[in-house]
Amino acid sequence: WKFTKAGEFDFSCLIPGHREAGMFGKIVVK
């Protein structure tokens, strides 16, 4: 990924059932 501005961004696995199993997080760009 390439970020062009600071901020907090959520992401998750796109495979069915994986987000519900806890495969997600947050990226902090400073």
1 pLDDT band (50/70/90 cuts)? confident
Query: How many domains are contained in the chain?
Result: 1
Q: What pLDDT does residue 4 have?
A: 95
Pairing of strands 24-29, 7-12: antiparallel
**% of residues, the chain, pLDDT over 70:** 100
* Cα–Cα distance measured from residue 2 to residue 13, given in angstroms and rounded to the nearest whole number: 18
**Across the chain, what does the average pLDDT equal?**
96
Which domain, by its residues, includes 30? 1-30
